[in-house]
Every structure is written in structure tokens, then in C-alpha cells.
Chains A and B, each alone.
Chain A
């Protein structure tokens, strides 16, 4: 069967009655206890996204609290150095809190308020989703609990400190690999036991369908801004334009691409290839992983032949996830987006190069996307445009970078 994307219909709504994209990705593979809370949330969200007052509130906070629009800049020196395509960056790391996770966190807090919930819980890998949720929870007067793998707590210290400062309780997850995958599981388990009083925010476009939807709907702000900025810069959408974005769960890429879905813009998603000489990676799309079920959703996922979820490895905690959004699986199978990966080493080099030449310093997640831009640009004509979503700042990675490169320069 040839899968196709429908034009003029938001991608998040292109599912069937079982909430599956292309009949095989997504859905709600959840315990019975979560059926009702998820049904309730699904109904509430479909009402709210048509509610003018709610949209006004959202836009108010996006503008005045998160800070819209985030800058769109040309990376002149990097472009000159590489020769070839013109390289631009959408500096989403300028958003309040320093990453795109603030959009999803803010929307979830607004929804939690509407649902009359006083508690909010969330998972985090790199610590951004947790940091933003703790920030937004504080802003909206919700009590916040964050689940984070014990390994990630160690390697993402600055964000952990920020969460504590915001008054969130951090629950270290010591099961399994002690990274994002376990944090999401533990957070879902907590929600199973507390869904009557507590709202859950899944930190990326993963999990049961409604969380995929809410997250992608929230981060879409990035491409709404970018669309205007691109038209301002070029007068129209250029013919040859590539939008490069790292993908772990896939939330920033969905937001970065959403408004360009029906245009000629080319989408390239960059997964985490892991250490150069390691068999471990976090790139299910690049490496042809099979479809399986993880965290309530059918998706391409790293697993063994029995269906046990596989171990992953990446220098970037935010991409260190064995699965990938059902929306990206759909984009891959419809050939609307292409996916590749960058190794830990390539990401580090990209971080170094961009930080050296430009006024921005991408975190290790978008550095994966910059690595692809650096590979690609010299092969392209100067009339072609590459835009990279610089969706996080390197400051949170200073410990890792220091350890790997000997020093940290921003």
C-alpha cells in the first residue's frame, strides 16, 4: 500500500478511528485504567483547540512568556567557511528556558488548569522537558513532579538544578538503562496510579496519540514563526530549501516542519548515531528498526526479535530514546521526510565549529543536525538554502563537552 499525506489537513489529524497514522503507527496501547483519562483529555483538547479564548491565551503566553518570535539568522561565517548552500538557523534556544520544550510545557499547563488538575507530572531526558515543565508549572501554580533517569540526572546537572530551583520534585528512575525510556515508563506508571488528580505531560511527540497531538500542535509555533521569517527574508518560500532538525522523540522537528508540510521544502531528520565504533545507537529510522509498541504507541523502535526494547547510546540525552514519534514514522513511509544520523563525534565537531564561527552555541541535540548541514552544504549550490533548528543551547552540556574535548567554549 502506498501511504500518502493528505494536503490541507493537519498532519496530527490524519489518523483513523483507532488513532493510527497510515493504519500502522500510533494508536493507544494503554492499560484500561488510562482509557478514560485519555478519552477525557482527547475530548478536552479537541474542544480547546477550537476555543478562541484558549487560543488567545496560548498566543499571549507564547508571545509574552516564551518570547515570540525566536530569531531567524544567517550563519554568514559558517556559510563562507563551508562554501555552497546558504546556512541559516532558527534560534529556538532563545525561547524562555532555552529550548522548544517550553511550548509543549506551557500548553500542557494551560490544559491542566482547564481540566481542574492541581498536579502535573512529566518525563525528561536532557532535562529540558523537565526544566520547562517545572518553569511553566510554577508560573501557572501547579505542583510538579519530574521523572528522570538516574544516568541523565548525573549528565545533565545544570537542568536538574534549574528544576529544583523551580520547586519541582525530581524522581530519579533507577530501573533499566536509567535514561529517557525508563523515565517515560515510570512517569506513565505514576499516572496510572494518580490519573484522578494529576495531569501528565509527555515530553515529546511520543506516547498515546493525544500526547503526540498536543505536543506537535504546541511546537508548531516554531514553523508558524519561521514561515513569516522565511517570506520576509526571501520574499517567498525559496524553491530549494532544506529544513534540518535533530530527532529523538521528534517534537522539535514536528514543530519546525509543520507549516511547511504542503510546500516544496525538503525535510531532513537527523537521529543520534551513537559513538562511532559502537553497535549501539538511537536511530531507529536510519537503521531500519521494525515496528513495535513502546509507551502506548506503535512505531519504529529499537528492539530484539522477541520484542524486548533495545538499549541505546548517544552523547545527547535528549536523543537517547529507542523509539520515535509515530508522526515521523508516517513521514518516513510516505517519503515526505528523509532521515539520517550523525555520530557522537560528528555532533561534537559540529558544536565546536558552529560555536567557533557564530554567536550561537547549539547543544548536543541540534549539533547532530548541524553535523548534517556541514556535510551537505559544500555539495550544494549557493542558491540553495539550509535552515537548521537550533533548538537547544550548549550550556546544559558543558560537563560532557569539557570531559570529551578538554574545555568548554561557548
Chain B
């Protein structure tokens, strides 16, 4: 059976456009609001990434750190994250949702226990920032057994030889980090160069759905639309921060922003 993630990519290909992938943090700024945000933006986004926050992240920039901090301050726990996913999936059963976070939370909850909870709540995929290849091989296999897509990351520093190995062992989706940066950095590489790298990876295995993330905003998204998918994260976290500052409703604000992002890639 095809995964919901694979189907989402197929549908986008039919429409000749990249998949729009959003990243927001579970519990930002409240449990309720983060669920409302997911429900709203899922009308425009094709795949939703949902962060489970960690208080010592080593690869996140200021915006996502801010979102994680707000969520943790509100007392978000893993069980709440799964509740949010479950409630979301009840309303949007076919919309793929990917959890993203750091390995220590999985380690503490136990790999199998964590994956069971993923399965029960309807999680479709996982991105674990600090569990690289080949250390992640066993865990990725466990995911596969549960029908959960483990998304391998590739970066501009990944050698070609290493890329081949990672891609060979990967599931249907891969994530290319556009540049050397934490999340939310300013795009310091030209879209042309990013796409050149992107195409190099695509040539290794054209069948894999390859998405680009890091540094993508409403300003840069249209220049990268030949990719299979594009991830926007920090920009959305920043909008939540700003709307809270201006006492605006982050849910309606985010709805508009994601709608606009979508328009730029059609």
C-alpha cells in the first residue's frame, strides 16, 4: 500500500508543482492553537511537519528555538503532541503529518514505545535531527516495519559516496538541507546553486521524493519550485512570534501566510 506521503507527492506531480510542506511546533503558542493552526493550514499545505520541542536543540536557529521555548513553557509533553496529532488526523485522515525533533526524547520514551504512539496517533513520518546515517539504520528499519516513513537528511557537506549509501537505504522521502546553516538562516546560497545540488541528488535516484528546506520564505520559495517539495518552517514560527507581539490571532495570520506561500508555487 502506498503511504499518504507518497500519495501527496504524486498528487502534486500531477498538478506539476512542488509539495508545500510546513513546519510548526506542537504546543506553540498553546496546545489548542497549534492544533487549530494545523487544521487551518492543512487546506493549503500538502504535508505538515510538526516539531516536538526539545530544550537543548543543536541545529535550530532563533525562530524555532523561540517556538519550542513557548511550547515548553506551556508545559507541552510528548503525550500532548500525540493527542494533537490524533485530533488532527481525526478531521484530516488523509493529510500526511511528519513529526520532527531530537533523539533524546525518543531515547527516554523507548524507541518501540515511541513508535507505537506514533502509529496509534496517525503519524506518517519522522525526521530526527541528531540521529544521522548510519547510526539511524536500525531505527529507520523499525519505522519501516510500523509503516512510518523515516526521512533521511542530506546536506551540502554530504559526500557523493555517502549520499549513494543514504539514498539506497532511504524510504520514499528525502530532505535536502539547502545550505550550511541552522534552521531559519538567511538563504546565503543562490537558488540556482541549490537546484544544481538538488538535481545531482535526484540523478542518483529519480524515484525518491526530494524536498528542500532551510532558509525558504515567501521571498525565495518561487525560485525553487522545480523541486519535489519545499519546507517552510522558521518563517512560520516568526509569524507566530510577531502576531503574539502585536496581539493578533496567530491562527488566522498563519492561515493567510500559508495560503500565500501556496499561491507562489502554483
Q: Is the CB of B58 within 8 A of A31?
A: yes
Q: Is the CB of B57 within 8 A of A185?
A: yes
- Bound-state CA distance A305–B54 (Å) is 13
Q: Mark A285-305, 1 if CB is under 8 A from B, else 0.
A: 000001111111010000101
Determine the chain A residues whose CB is within 8 A of the CB of B154 once the complex forms.
Answer: 32
Select A35's contact among B60, B132, B182, beta carbons within 8 Å. Answer: B132
Least distance between B222 CB and chain A CB atoms (Å)? 25
Q: Is the CB of B104 within 8 A of A31?
A: no
Determine the chain B residues whose CB is within 8 A of the CB of A294 once the complex forms.
Answer: 56, 104
Judged by a CB distance under 8 angstroms, whether A176 is at the interface is yes
Q: Is the CB of B181 within 8 A of A193?
A: yes
Q: Is the CB of B153 within 8 A of A28?
A: no
Q: Is the CB of B157 within 8 A of A36?
A: yes
Determine the chain A residues whose CB is within 8 A of the CB of B54 once the complex forms.
Answer: 307-308
Q: Assuming the A-B contacts A303-B104, A307-B109, A308-B55, are A194 and B180 also in contact, with contact meaning beta carbons closer than 8 angstroms in the complex? A: yes
Closest to A19 in B: B135
Closest to A308 in B: B55
Q: Is the CB of B107 within 8 A of A192?
A: no
Q: Is the CB of B109 within 8 A of A36?
A: no
Q: Is the CB of B135 within 8 A of A27?
A: yes
Judged by a CB distance under 8 angstroms, whether A306 is at the interface is yes
Q: Is the CB of A306 within 8 A of B56?
A: no
Q: Is the CB of A33 within 8 A of B180?
A: yes
Query: What's the tally of chain A residues with a CB closer than 8 Å to chain B?
Result: 37
Q: Mark A260-300, 1 if CB is under 8 A from B, else 0.
A: 00000000000000000000000000000011111110100
Determine the chain A residues whose CB is within 8 A of the CB of B132 once the complex forms.
Answer: 28-32, 35
Select B153's contact among A32, A37, A292, beta carbons within 8 Å. Answer: A32
Closest to B61 in A: A189
Judged by a CB distance under 8 angstroms, whether A215 is at the interface is no
Determine the chain A residues whose CB is within 8 A of the CB of B159 once the complex forms.
Answer: 36
Least distance between A182 CB and chain B CB atoms (Å)? 8
Q: Is the CB of B56 within 8 A of A189?
A: no
Q: Assuming the A-B contacts A175-B65, A303-B104, A306-B78, are A33 and B56 also in contact, with contact meaning beta carbons closer than 8 angstroms in the complex? A: no
Determine the chain A residues whose CB is within 8 A of the CB of B61 once the complex forms.
Answer: 189
Q: Assuming the A-B contacts A29-B130, A193-B185, A293-B107, are A188 and B180 also in contact, with contact meaning beta carbons closer than 8 angstroms in the complex? A: no
By DSSP majority rule, is chain B's interface helix, strand, loop, or mixed? loop
Judged by a CB distance under 8 angstroms, whether B155 is at the interface is yes
Q: Is the CB of B104 within 8 A of A307?
A: yes
Q: Is the CB of A185 within 8 A of B158?
A: no
By DSSP majority rule, is chain A's interface helix, strand, loop, or mixed? mixed
Closest to A27 in B: B135
Q: Is the CB of A30 within 8 A of B55?
A: no
Judged by a CB distance under 8 angstroms, whether A13 is at the interface is no
Least distance between A124 CB and chain B CB atoms (Å)? 17
Q: Assuming the A-B contacts A195-B157, A308-B72, are A292 and B180 also in contact, with contact meaning beta carbons closer than 8 angstroms in the complex? A: no
Judged by a CB distance under 8 angstroms, whether B105 is at the interface is yes
Select A32's contact among B105, B158, B185, beta carbons within 8 Å. Answer: B158
Judged by a CB distance under 8 angstroms, whether A334 is at the interface is no
Q: Is the CB of B108 within 8 A of A307?
A: yes
- Bound-state CA distance A18–B104 (Å) is 17
Closest to A36 in B: B157
Judged by a CB distance under 8 angstroms, whether A237 is at the interface is no
- Bound-state CA distance A32–B158 (Å) is 7
Judged by a CB distance under 8 angstroms, whether B59 is at the interface is yes
Judged by a CB distance under 8 angstroms, whether A181 is at the interface is yes
In this complex, which of B54, B72, B107, B108 has the most chain A Cβ atoms within 10 angstroms of its Cβ?
A: B108
Least distance between B241 CB and chain A CB atoms (Å)? 14
Q: Is the CB of B108 within 8 A of A290?
A: yes
Least distance between B183 CB and chain A CB atoms (Å)? 9
Least distance between B92 CB and chain A CB atoms (Å)? 27
Q: Is the CB of B107 within 8 A of A31?
A: no
Q: Assuming the A-B contacts A32-B155, A37-B157, are A307 and B59 also in contact, with contact meaning beta carbons closer than 8 angstroms in the complex? A: no
Determine the chain A residues whose CB is within 8 A of the CB of B181 once the complex forms.
Answer: 192-193
- Bound-state CA distance A29–B108 (Å) is 15
CB proximity to B under 8 Å, residues A28-75: 28-37
Judged by a CB distance under 8 angstroms, whether B120 is at the interface is no
10 interchain pairs, CB-CB under 8 A: A30-B130, A33-B155, A185-B58, A189-B61, A192-B182, A292-B108, A306-B78, A306-B105, A308-B54, A309-B55
Task: Please name the 5 residue pairs, one residue from A and one from B, whose CB atoms are nearest each other, closest first.
Answer: A307-B108, A36-B157, A307-B104, A33-B155, A31-B59
Please list the residues of chain B having a beta carbon within 8 angstroms of any beta carbon in chain A.
54-61, 65, 69, 72, 77-78, 102-105, 107-109, 129-133, 135, 153-159, 162, 177, 180-182, 185
Further contacts, 13 of them, CB under 8 A, given A29-B131, A192-B59, A292-B107: A18-B135, A29-B103, A31-B130, A31-B153, A33-B157, A175-B69, A176-B56, A192-B58, A192-B180, A194-B180, A293-B130, A307-B54, A309-B104
